[in-house]
Amino acid sequence: MSWYQKEISLRARPRGFHLVSEEILIQLPELKKIKIGLMHILIKHTSASITLNENYDSDVRSDMEKYFTKTVKEKEPWYDHNSEGPDDIPAHIKSTLIGNSLTIPISKGQLNLGTWQGIYLCEHRNHGGSRKLVITIFGDER
């Protein structure tokens, strides 16, 4: 069994749901060595999240953003935590709802995802900046 762990950065993106599968895979040449295993991804931020969803139709990503913006509103009068602006606590709430990690099977050196699945960075801040991920790969080498 082999273990690999590294921290990678994703480029800054505007608020929204962004397909980042390829940006992640480009930074993980170690993945090709794994015959069978698991990849765990942790996003090291409390105002962004990570999930799996539709990798083909970009309407899914824009609809997800619209849904979460409507569901978790900004500038609610009962919010206490707003020191970093009106998108502050809504970003934390969205991050908690969606989650901060994924575990994905690896088969024959590739992520074993469904045909239409891709990894999303869910950027909940208006100006979130670059995002850091810790990637842990565990498995049998080829």
Q: For residue 14, what is the domain's CATH number?
A: 2.60.120.460
- Rounded to two decimals, the pTM is 0.95
Separation between Cα atoms, residue 73 and residue 96, nearest integer Å: 15
Q: Which domain holds residue 129?
A: 2-141
Residue 142 has pLDDT above 90, yes or no: no
Angle at 15 between CA 73 and CA 67, to 5 degrees: 45
Separation between Cα atoms, residue 80 and residue 89, nearest integer Å: 8
Q: Greatest CA separation found in the chain?
A: 56
* SS3 sequence of 101-136: EEEEEEECCEECCCCCEEEEEEECCCCCCCEEEEEE
Q: Tens digit of pLDDT for each residue in 1-45?
A: 999 999 999 999 999 999 999 999 999 999 999 999 999 999 999
The residue assigned the tokens 């565990």 is 138
Cβ atoms 120, 43 nearer than 8 A: no
> How confident is the prediction for the chain on average, in pLDDT?
97
Angle at 68 between CA 12 and CA 103, to 5 degrees: 65
Angle at 15 between CA 14 and CA 18, to 5 degrees: 80
Number of domains in the chain: 1
- pLDDT, residue 38, reads 98
Alpha-helical regions (H) of 1-142 = 21-26, 58-71, 88-98
Q: With bands split at pLDDT 50, 70 and 90, how would you rate the model's confidence at 100?
A: very high
